[in-house]
Amino acid sequence: MGSALRAPRLGLLLLALAALPLPLPLPLALPLPLPLPLPLPLALPLALPLALAEASGQGHWCYQSQVKAESCQGPWEWSDLSDTQCNGSEQSPVNIFTAQVKHNASLGPFSFQDYDKKQNWTLKNNGHSVEVTFEPLRLSGGGLQGTYKAVQFHLHWSDSVEQGSEHTLDGERFAMEMHIVHIKEKFQTVTEASEGDDREGIAVLGFLVKNGSENPAFGNLISLLKKIQEKDQSSLLPEVRLCDFLPSEDKLNRYFRYLGSLTTPGCQEKVIWTLFKEPIELDENQITSFSKTLFYDSKKTMPMKDNFRPVQIRGRREVQVSGAGSLLPSARAATLAPALTSLLVSLLL
């Protein structure tokens, strides 16, 4: 039984190692010992329910924080669900190694149409997150092929400011992550775009959220969370502009780009991802309000927290970055400057 207990941990370790940059350091490249198989009488009772669930496509997906509280399949079992691509080779989210990104001069500024237009939004607890829907807004430029329309945004978080984002930068996880979901104009719904034959049918703008100053725009949204505590509850947020929730437009020309997937089942690999380098700021009370107020269920027994998918294997997918000046984050540039100065002085002496 000891080997059976070690197997899930080994799977997590192998996934973490696979997300490291290539080539691996020698100690990490050495083969790991595999767990011994369970004796047949012990293995069959454990394997049979899983095999039946996989064959029948039964069960529903949930996040890891829900697994112990209800019968559902967490992120490590999403690939067992029927009609999903969750075990595909181009999954999201990923860890972005900023030292390995490739500059792409064609990744220019975006054109945001009607992002500054006041609208009435609908906030809904969909059982996995807060989903905000609105009248379509147009997006083009930024290296995208054609025009997309924004149809909703949602957020991912934890119960602290130490984690909550789906994507990571150089292994660092942020407090939250906001996803604005766009579909090409030829599609009517996200489902239609995810099931179509266009590899870039969906464009998601991802914004990392860090602990910092209070955010007045999010304050109005957060004040309504108490009205959507339970699954399927909804509320109206009147007269708001999406641009007020985002960094200033002059900071939206620095971003990462890669091809990936939806981060919830069916995990369709139909997404062109944009992850902005400039984070959104919320203060700690605003960040933790989501986990303190919202629940996964209608009985309010499961606080909604840790609703983020673990980082997936990037493999040989290329991550690109916009702007020649974006190759090095400001923190890295600050630490690199003294070294370059010393090198220059040594060459001149």
pLDDT in tens, 52-96: 333 334 468 999 999 876 789 999 999 999 889 999 999 999 999
Tell me, yes or no, whether 46 lies in a domain: no
pLDDT tens per residue across span 158-173:
999 999 999 999 999 9
Tell me, yes or no, whether 287 lies in a domain: yes
Give catalytic status of residue 128 as yes or no: yes
d(CA 105, CA 143): 9
Q: Is 45 in a helix, a strand, or coil? A: helix
Query: What's the pLDDT band for 326 if we cut at 50, 70, 90?
Result: very low
- Phi, psi dihedral angles at 323 (to 5 degrees): 70, 125
- State the pLDDT at residue 69: 66
* Lowest-confidence pick of 17-31, 80-94, 301-315: 17-31
Tell me, yes or no, whether 43 lies in a domain: no
pLDDT value at 191 more than 60: yes
- 10-18 long-range contacts, CB within 8 A, separation 24+: 10/34, 10/35, 11/76, 15/310, 15/311, 15/312, 15/313, 18/313
168-169, strands of its sheet edge to edge: 95-96, 168-169, 172-173
Domain count along the chain: 1
Question: Which of 128, 154, 167, 182 is labelled catalytic?
Answer: 128
Tell me, yes or no, whether 18 lies in a domain: no
Tell me, yes or no, whether 24 lies in a domain: no
pLDDT tens per residue across span 90-128:
999 999 999 999 999 999 999 999 999 999 999 999 999
- 11-to-7, 305, 317, 333 alpha-carbon distances in Å: 6, 23, 22, 36
Tell me, yes or no, whether 41 lies in a domain: no
- State the pLDDT at residue 71: 80
Q: What is the dihedral of CA 317, 323, 325, 331, to 10 degrees?
A: -50
How many residues are there in the chain? Answer: 349
* Lowest-confidence pick of 144-148, 275-279, 294-298, 324-328: 324-328
Who contacts 168 (Cβ-Cβ below 8 Å, separation ≥6)? 93, 95, 96, 174, 311
Q: Are the CB atoms for 241 and 112 separated by under 8 Å? A: no
- State the pLDDT at residue 23: 42
Residue 172: DSSP 8-state: E
Q: Are the CB atoms for 108 and 322 separated by under 8 Å? A: yes
Query: Which residue segment(s) compose the domain that 308 sits in?
Result: 95-321
Tell me, yes or no, whether 51 lies in a domain: no
Question: Residue-wise over 169-191: b if at least 16 C-beta within 10 A, else e?
Answer: beeebbbbbbbbbbbbeebeebe
Query: What's the pLDDT band for 323 if we cut at 50, 70, 90?
Result: confident
Residue type, 170: D
Percentage of residues of the chain with pLDDT beyond 90? 73
Residue 303's DSSP bridge partners are: 295
Residue 210's DSSP bridge partners are: 281
* Lowest-confidence pick of 204-213, 260-269, 280-289, 324-333: 324-333
- State the pLDDT at residue 300: 94
Report the CATH number at residue 290: 3.10.200.10
- State the pLDDT at residue 14: 44
pLDDT value at 337 more than 60: no
d(CA 78, CA 128): 15
Tell me, yes or no, whether 336 lies in a domain: no
